[in-house]
Amino acid sequence: MSLKSAVKQALLKFRLRGVNYRNLIDPYTYIGKFTTLKTADDRSTINFNQHVDLHNYVSLIAEDGGEIIFGKRVSIGDYSTLRASRAKISIGNNTMLGQGVKLISTNHAYKDKNRLIHEQDIDTEKIGITIGADCWLGAGCVVLPGVAIADGVVVGANAVVTKDVPEYAIVVGIPAKIISYRS
């Protein structure tokens, strides 16, 4: 490792003090300005891989045993938020998330009308998010808890993904629907 790479790694590790992360060994990992990385407890982790690129104003939050796992060569656009609470968010190799993408691993339970929503726990029927390899999630899209996006999927800008998406599908809209497949 060159001196420049070693200094960059040391500065990056200093920025991440207090964050429970694993595998931050790649000198090509980039963490942009005003990016927030937070692990709320010892059970929560953020797992880096080679060539992870977090642009400016990205928020990564792992709490209550949540885990964020990056594959190799993952890029996260400006102003995106990944929040893993009591569940896992996994992003495959060579995947890109555009600006302002939101991945939230759990949601509040709300069906019991005899209890206030903030007194109810999480909805345990749908938790976690899995995004495969070679995917592109367009700017402003939202992926809801419990969704698995298979390899090669393209999600159009501002789409809301509410259910699993098969390999190489192209989805758009609210809720996201398949309009074609990559050929």
**Tokens matching residue 142:** 């939202």
**Tokens matching residue 4:** 């420049």
Catalytic residue among 51, 55, 108, 118: 108
In the residue annotation, 118 being an active-site residue is answered as no
**Tokens matching residue 71:** 């594959």
How distant is the alpha carbon of residue 31 from its chain centre? 14
- The residue count for the chain: 183
Catalytic residue numbers read: 108
